Structure 1
């Protein structure tokens, strides 16, 4: 099995646990991260999406997961494709999260870009439909 195949197998398992646990399998993710992991998101920590702020290091990565679960509840996270080329991996799927303040759900296509070094993730970037996420995070007018 090549290094890329091993990384894909680890990611496939981690995403399945993420889905099955409805976002509670944080330590599975942390085990895949290098100490110098860089995590970024398309929403970049904007109001209503504070969990998505850039993070550096494993402890900060745990902060991402705790902030996410404080604001959102996972409905599902379904992976359709995982494509690896050398140390880079792209993951494509669909996910849905319910905002805990508004009760509204955002379902969106998602793309995650990973870069690995020695079998551990050193860079992660997530893309999703921010318009849907911000709409779900915004309370309806009274």
Structure 2
């Protein structure tokens, strides 16, 4: 199996597990992360979404997932398509969440730009509708 196909297979399994088991089931993601993963989120730590600040280690990313699971309830996370070239994979789909504090729901397109090395994620940048997400996070 080519590196591209292997990387897509690993990610496809992680996304399916994430969707099927919801926000608290992030162990598959943690298994795929390199110890020095560089993770960025479109909200970049904005007020109400402070946990989305850039992470530069697996430990910091664990904090991200724990706060995400405590503050948001996942409704679904679907990937419709993967685009892969060399060590770069783009996952294109959509996701829905409810903020546990405000009870506001958000459905947004979702694109993840990922770079892998030796079957581990070394870079991850998540892109989504920040206006919708920030609106749901605020009273």
TM-score interval for Structure 1 and Structure 2 normalised by the shorter chain: over 0.9
Contact 2:24 2:66 in 1 (8 A): no
Q: Deviations over 1:62-118 (max 9, x none)?
A: 111001112111010011111110000000101011001110111000000000111
Corresponding position of 1:103: 103
Corresponding position of 2:43: 43
Gaps (5+ residues) in structure 2? none
TM-score scaled by length of structure 1: 0.95
Alignment length (residue pairs): 139
Corresponding position of 2:81: 81
Q: Deviations over 1:112-142 (max 9, x none)?
A: 0000111111000000001110111121xxx
TM-score scaled by length of structure 2: 0.97
Mapped to 1, the partners of 2:51 and 2:18 lie a distance apart of: 17
Corresponding position of 1:28: 28
Gaps (5+ residues) in structure 1? none
Contact 2:75 2:97 in 1 (8 A): yes
- 1:24 Cα deviation from its structure 2 partner: 2.1
Corresponding position of 2:11: 11
Contact 1:50 1:67 in 2 (8 A): no
